[in-house]
Amino acid sequence: MSARFGETPSSKLVRSSFLEFFGERGHSVQPSAPIIPPNDPTLMFTNAGMVPFKDVFTGKDQRPYSRATSSQKCIRISGKHNDLENVGVTARHHTFFEMLGNFSFGDYFKEEAIVYAWDLLTKVWQIPQDRLVITVFGGEGTMPADDEARALWRKVTGFDDSRIIGLGTKDNFWSMGDTGPCGPCTEIHYFHGDTPDVARFTEEPLPDGRGWMEIWNLVFMQYERSVVDGAPKLEPLPKPCVDTGAGLERVSGVLQGKTTNYDTDLLRALVDRASDLAKKPYLGTQGDDDVSMRVIADHARTTAFLIAENVFPDRAGREYVLRRVMRRAIRHGHRLGITEPFLHHVADEVVTLMGDTYPELVRARESILSVAHGEEVRFRETIERGLKLLDEEIVTLRSEGKDTIRGDVAFKLYGTYGFPLDLTEVIAEERAVKVDKEGYEAALAEDRLRNDKFDNKSKAVEEVWREVQGLTSKPVHFTGYEREEGEATVVAIVKGGALVQRAETGDEVSIVVDVTPFYAESGGQTGDLGRITGEAGFVANVQDTQKHMGSVFAHDATIESGELTVGARVKLEVDHARRTATRRNHSATHLLHWALRTVLGPTATQKGSLVGPDRLRFDFAHNRAVTDEELQRVEDLVNEKVLGNAPVVTEVLPVDQARAKGAVAMFGEKYGDVVRVLTMTADSVEFCGGTHARALGEIGLFKVLSEGGVSAGVRRIEAATGLNALRFVRDLEGRLDAAARALKTSPSDVATKVERLVESSRALEKEVADLKKKVALGGAGGSAGGAGGGGGIDEMISHARDIGGAKVLAVRVDGLDVPTQRDLADKLRDKLGDSVVLVASVQGPKVQLVLTVAKSLTERFKAGDLIRPIAQIVGGSGGGRPDMAQAGGTAIGKVDEAVSALYTQVG
């Protein structure tokens, strides 16, 4: 290893030396692209270094350079590149990693790529040659071996064929798909361990990392694959390309002398943080605890980087993948015995560790910590609800003399509460019961069958619309930007999920025409309503307009009179008032987005929207509630722009020109080569295919109706415009006037009057609480053992039972708050000495239970274990420390039964 790198070069130095090496050789050094591919709807995440250059490789995009290098952020969780189950188990698999790469776009080819790789590995990084082995494509079927690469490696390295190993298409042939660019690849492998042994090359590396491991892959795109007469055919590409990838974690492991990536400076600090939080040592073994710490370290990186790109845990898409990763980390924390939220602490370590290289982490630090903490708190609450179901099942099992949790219960825990089978098994083992795995698998299979039936039905519907699409040679022509009525020819009628030739009065149908002014629901804007009329008194009431297959406008309608046939001429009329109100709201949505970014910062990006005639709904990225002052500022900014009455400018531009103009793509939308661009202010330029006001003044009054949270890191604003906003304000005025009359004051003094009433009410509540406490702790008012009784503390104590050398007492005193219950339980326990005391109290519609155990008895009795089955009697759940536990429930009629149950539990 060179003196420049020292004994243990940092991963930062490894990364920079790679980029510097290729930069000095004419490569354009490119920053990492986002993990969320901005212009590739086919990919959920950037999963390789070549992804940002995919269009360059295929010739769709031109760059001012013909060779490039980068260190690319990558995630591999879903699809064919899914390493999730191996994470933490092996030394080399991760969900998040960095891919070092160099690329040639029709510039250099195999010889230069091989020389570059060998020089960097053996001359700059000074990796011993005897620890390296090369693989090349050895040919398969009709595809020839890459003898050129083998000869070049012999020339460059001096290796004989025993160290240049030929492999098949699975390992050494790359392709984008069944057709398209493809070619052979050559890989460089490094041996971790004492003595390199080429004879063991085909063996999988050991879980601790010892053995042969790929560290660099060079892909030579030299063919275009097509299918001719059912057989694959390879044609040489006019400009062969090079795409290489070396995992930074793996290379850092080699240069830092670590057999496992988790011991490198990229991950070890995160493993140690998990170890600290678990209060358990990290031993670097394959034991469950060590695997869990490695999983947490890996998943914390994925969590931090995705949240930094405004991906927040939710129920679908990328958001659901993030939720799975986070909850998997949380489950491993649970397995380690971590009882408090912890993931945000490890994610914070990620920011500290990598924030210099990726400043977006630092900018998003507050959001990362808030979202990670919030998701964990919510999941822990879900786990608690699942534990309640599990505990109830175990109580039932034991009462029936059984010891196996039913498979359908285990599946419910998975489907409803997110408990994977392994977590249920761990908890069941702690409770000394088993799980019916076969029953679980059967329930899972049945659920999949139901989903398959639904999918098949969806596919059948899709097939109908594909058939409709085939009836026309061109897409339906939309005229709704210019007009709200027009004439057209009926192309198709769909009734009951099938194509029909005619429909009559009373039929519910989807009508497809060749030209329409009706806007079909898309981009968050609801579809138009209106009427379709024709000859012989035909009238159809359009209740919705939907788009199918990307180009078929379906007018969902009920035929009020007459009949309709395919080929008939009809007149279409959009509901003008509804369209106008929707246009106002849609334009206001864009202004709202601009105002939110202005007030809250550039991270307040759109996460979804719904625009209808009555109101608009806008979801945006933000990690806390918007303050009243901020909301008022947002309202003011929008209304100021409305009063300015600037024209709303729409342009149709090539997508590249639109992006160059600074147009912002709307969340979740896909765009073609030509797009509509909407400009309202100098800072509000966005892609949008919806209908809009002609000038901002048409929006009228803009009023925020509500603001609240939707999910972790996502907030929602609902607002109204025009007459709808005015109606909302008038309704508020009416409510205020009614309140003023009820309080016998003026509207301007309502707040002051209410504050005085609240203060008076609080004083009375405190007085009542003090009296209750005085009665409970010093006077009468209780029942013991579930039987009625009176007297004070001494009377309650007289009902204590001696069970196995411990005093056991259960009392019911209604009307107490929890602090008073705790005081009473403590006082009874202290008077009884070595004792177990339960205090139950009904207050309103709820039952509260407090159970305390003398510290001298906590080895025999745990308060949390005692209170759980008692809580189930009153329909609740609970837990706590060994010496103190609380629970709640709603089954008031079973309180006495619960009180009596303590004696059975202890006995």
- Distance from chain centroid for Cα 86: 21
Closest alpha carbon to 828 in 808, 804, 843, 848: 808
What pLDDT is stored for residue 397 in this prediction?
83
Tell me the Cα Rg of the chain: 34
Domain coordinates in residue numbering, the chain:
11-263, 268-402, 470-574, 597-730, 767-906
* pLDDT tens by residue, 611-620: 999 999 999 9
Dihedral, 557, 562, 563, 564 alpha carbons, nearest 10: -60
Q: How many CB atoms lie within 10 A of CB 58?
A: 14
Structure tokens at 181: 């660019």
Asked whether the predicted pLDDT for residue 547 surpasses 50, the reply is: yes
**Least confident stretch, 2-6, 62-66, 380-384:** 2-6
Structure tokens at 763: 């004083």
Residue corresponding to tokens 């339906």: 476
Helices 628-644 and 576-600 pack at an angle, to 10 degrees, of: 120
**Are 132 and 189 spatial neighbours (Cβ–Cβ below 8 Å)?**
yes
**Are 572 and 517 spatial neighbours (Cβ–Cβ below 8 Å)?**
yes
The pLDDT of 319-340, averaged and rounded, is 90
Asked whether the predicted pLDDT for residue 38 surpasses 90, the reply is: no
The runs of H, that is alpha helices, within 364-436 are 365-399, 407-417, 421-430
Q: Are strands 674-681 and 801-803 parallel, antiparallel or unpaired?
A: unpaired
Q: How confident is the model at residue 320 (pLDDT cuts 50, 70, 90)?
A: confident
Q: How many CB atoms lie within 10 A of CB 37?
A: 17
Measure the CA angle with vertex 590, ends 584 and 591; round to 5°: 85
**Are 328 and 299 spatial neighbours (Cβ–Cβ below 8 Å)?**
yes
**Angstrom distances, CA of residue 720 to CA of 497, 589, 696, 752, 857:** 36, 10, 15, 29, 63
Cα–Cα distance measured from residue 468 to residue 814, given in angstroms and rounded to the nearest whole number: 69
Task: Give 3-state DSSP helix, strand, coil % of the chain, rounded to 5.
Answer: 45, 25, 30
* pLDDT tens by residue, 444-456: 888 877 766 655 5
Q: Which CATH architecture is the domain 470-574 placed in?
A: Beta Barrel (2.40)
What number of CA atoms fall less than 13 Å from residue 198's CA on the CB side? 15
Dihedral sign for Cα atoms in the order 161, 164, 166, 167? positive
What pLDDT is stored for residue 1 in this prediction?
35
Structure tokens at 525: 């804007």
**Are 103 and 53 spatial neighbours (Cβ–Cβ below 8 Å)?**
yes
* pLDDT tens by residue, 427-440: 788 778 899 999 89
529 phi and psi, to 5 degrees?
Answer: -115, 165
Name the β-bridge partners of 64.
none
H or E element in which residue 840 lies: strand 835-843
Helices 317-335 and 268-278 pack at an angle, to 10 degrees, of: 50
H or E element in which residue 877 lies: strand 877-880
b/e per residue 662-689 (b: at least 16 CB within 10 A): ebbbbbeeebeeebbbbbbbeebbbbbb
Measure the CA angle with vertex 458, ends 445 and 528; round to 5°: 140
**Angstrom distances, CA of residue 136 to CA of 112, 188, 511, 661:** 16, 9, 58, 46
pLDDT over 90 percentage in the chain: 61
Cα–Cα distance measured from residue 731 to residue 316, given in angstroms and rounded to the nearest whole number: 37
Q: How confident is the model at residue 790 (pLDDT cuts 50, 70, 90)?
A: very low
Residues sharing a CB contact under 8 Å with residue 173, sequence separation 6 or more, in sequence order: 137, 140, 143, 182, 183, 184, 185
| DSSP classification of residue 181 | E
What pLDDT is stored for residue 427 in this prediction?
77
Q: Where are the beta strands (DSSP E) in 106-230?
A: 132-137, 164-167, 173-175, 180-192, 211-228
Q: What DSSP letter does each residue of 317-358 carry, written as one string?
A: HHHHHHHHHHHHHHHHHHHTT--S--HHHHHHHHHHHHTTT-
Asked whether the predicted pLDDT for residue 81 surpasses 60, the reply is: no
The pLDDT of 347-372, averaged and rounded, is 94
Cα–Cα distance measured from residue 241 to residue 895, given in angstroms and rounded to the nearest whole number: 76
Measure the CA angle with vertex 305, ends 279 and 369; round to 5°: 55
Q: Which CATH architecture is the domain 597-730 placed in?
A: 2-Layer Sandwich (3.30)
Tell me, which fold does domain 767-906 have in CATH?
Answer: Diaminopimelate Epimerase; Chain A, domain 1 (3.10.310)
What CATH class does 11-263 carry? Answer: alpha beta
Residue 755 burial (10 A CB sphere; 0-12, 13-18, 19+) = exposed
* pLDDT tens by residue, 171-189: 999 887 777 788 999 999 9
Number of residues that make up the chain: 907
pLDDT over 70 percentage in the chain: 94
**Are 713 and 371 spatial neighbours (Cβ–Cβ below 8 Å)?**
yes
Secondary structure class of 706 (helix, strand, coil)? strand
- Distance from chain centroid for Cα 371: 11
The pLDDT of 636-651, averaged and rounded, is 95
Closest alpha carbon to 96 in 35, 50, 152, 145: 35
Q: What DSSP letter does each residue of 243-310 carry, written as one string?
A: EEEEEHHHHHHHHTT-SSGGGSTTTHHHHHHHHHHHT-----SSSHHHHHHHHHHHHHHHHHHHHHTT
* pLDDT tens by residue, 857-889: 999 999 988 999 999 999 888 888 899 999 999
**Are 678 and 666 spatial neighbours (Cβ–Cβ below 8 Å)?**
no
Asked whether the predicted pLDDT for residue 78 surpasses 80, the reply is: no
The pLDDT of 723-741, averaged and rounded, is 94
Cα–Cα distance measured from residue 904 to residue 902, given in angstroms and rounded to the nearest whole number: 5
The pLDDT of 26-46, averaged and rounded, is 89
Structure tokens at 796: 């309650």
What pLDDT is stored for residue 776 in this prediction?
66
Q: How many CB atoms lie within 10 A of CB 152?
A: 22
Query: Model pTM?
Result: 0.68
375 phi and psi, to 5 degrees?
Answer: -65, -40
* pLDDT tens by residue, 593-626: 999 999 998 889 898 899 999 999 999 999 889 9
Structure tokens at 14: 């490894």
The pLDDT of 354-358, averaged and rounded, is 96
| DSSP classification of residue 804 | T
* pLDDT tens by residue, 386-431: 777 888 888 888 878 888 999 988 888 887 777 777 778 877 887 7
Structure tokens at 219: 């892909």
What pLDDT is stored for residue 83 in this prediction?
66
